[in-house]
A = this chain, B = another copy of it.
Amino acid sequence: MVQTLRVDDIEIELDEVIEHIRKSGARIVGLCLPEGLKRKAGDIASHIEQNTGCTVIVSGEPCYGACDIDAALLDEVDVLVHVGHSRLLPVDYRVNSLRSKQHMERVLYVEARSTLDVLPAVRKAAALLKGRKVGVITTVQHVHTLNDVCALLRSLGFSPLVAGGDDRVCHEGQVLGCNFSAARCDCEELLFVGGGEFHPMGAALATGMRVVVADPYLNEARVVDTRAIVKQRYAAIWRAMDKQRFGVVMCSKMGQRRPHAALRAVALLREAGRDATLIMMDDITIEKLEQLGFECYVVCACPRVAIDEYATFPMPVLTPPELEMVLGRRRMDDLALDEILEG
């Protein structure tokens, strides 16, 4: 019997989880679910307990991606089952060397697949494409559709390309919010299959290419317009120009921890005569930033933080490349998305 969990349009195979836990000899199992699946925590935990005899501890923390490992829970369990995201290699793991990357080997990533039919939206998007050579990118929950997407595009006269990303990416054509390596291919424009604003916007900013979105959730197609976000980024950069007291935020989430980027930002600021304090936090929230009271922040974590939450921050919040622009170390016309690349 293949045990598949279905929630709305999401499908997860639980058999491989049970099999893996049984083989591992684990006694205590952690379970992390993305927000949309958290309400199934009781059912999944009880399924695992009944089929393995293990004790299951559910993570009550929000989980925003493969980078977002509940480290406190990982410390308690023999295996941590992380549902909904594909395996991610952490980069720049820690300042100190107290623990090792092997810690992450106890994390079992269980992908979730969307059951949505993406082809109607792709058909609409095809009408917006201008070139013939189209790079096709998507997020993990739709990667299994890329063969069908390419077949459809070919039948419509296009030459689709699905490129492999770097070591941080599991699947061909897959992009992360911080990694658009699979979008850098020999094409005239990009087709993004999926929902939300950040991934297609990120692809456009990272590659400078025209990006068409096929959104299966809204069953619509659109062309990405980066003009508003670019203006917002320059506004944040200009507001930071005269600030003296900077907080440099390193995220404690395992897959977003870039101590070397943070230490470099501190060094650049001090060389430029500004005050810089190194800060570590988990979720980066306006409440926590306000409590610390610095005039400006450089966030060395997920690039989404500075960019997606622009409107909510009362103080300027920059990414590391934007800090370089403030300090005159990068040309002002060279705005770059702060990607986290390589394994």
Residues of A within 8 A of B (CB): 28, 30, 35, 38-39, 41-42, 45-46, 55-62, 70-73, 75-78, 94-96, 98-99, 245, 247, 249-250, 252, 259, 263, 275, 277-282, 284, 288-289, 291-294
Contacting pair B46 A280 (CB below 8 A): no
* C-alpha gap A72/B42 in the complex (Å): 27
Contacting pair A292 B38 (CB below 8 A): yes
Residues of B near A38 (CB, < 8 A) are 291-293
* C-alpha gap A76/B98 in the complex (Å): 7
Which single member of B58, B76, B279 contacts A60 (CB below 8 Å)? B279
Question: Which of A35, A56, A57 is most buried by chain B, counting CB atoms within 10 A of its CB?
Answer: A57
Contacting pair B99 A281 (CB below 8 A): no
* C-alpha gap A42/B61 in the complex (Å): 29
* C-alpha gap A339/B186 in the complex (Å): 65
Q: Can you name 18 A-B pairs with beta carbons within 8 Å? A: A28-B96, A45-B277, A45-B278, A55-B278, A56-B278, A57-B278, A58-B247, A58-B292, A59-B279, A59-B280, A60-B247, A60-B249, A60-B280, A61-B288, A72-B72, A73-B252, A75-B94, A76-B94
Closest beta carbon of chain B to A328's beta carbon, Å: 23
* C-alpha gap A163/B35 in the complex (Å): 48
Residues of B near A57 (CB, < 8 A) are 95, 250, 278-280
Residues of B near A70 (CB, < 8 A) are 280
Closest beta carbon of chain B to A114's beta carbon, Å: 21
Closest beta carbon of chain B to A105's beta carbon, Å: 13
Contacting pair B275 A58 (CB below 8 A): no
* C-alpha gap A249/B42 in the complex (Å): 13
Residues of B near A95 (CB, < 8 A) are 28, 55, 57, 76
Contacting pair A77 B60 (CB below 8 A): no
A57-B279, A279-B60 given; A292·B41 CB < 8 A: yes
**Beyond the given A57-B278, A60-B289, could you list 16 further A-B residue pairs with CB under 8 A, ordered by the A residue number?**
A38-B293, A39-B292, A39-B293, A41-B279, A42-B294, A46-B277, A57-B250, A58-B278, A58-B279, A58-B292, A59-B279, A60-B288, A62-B291, A71-B75, A73-B280, A76-B98
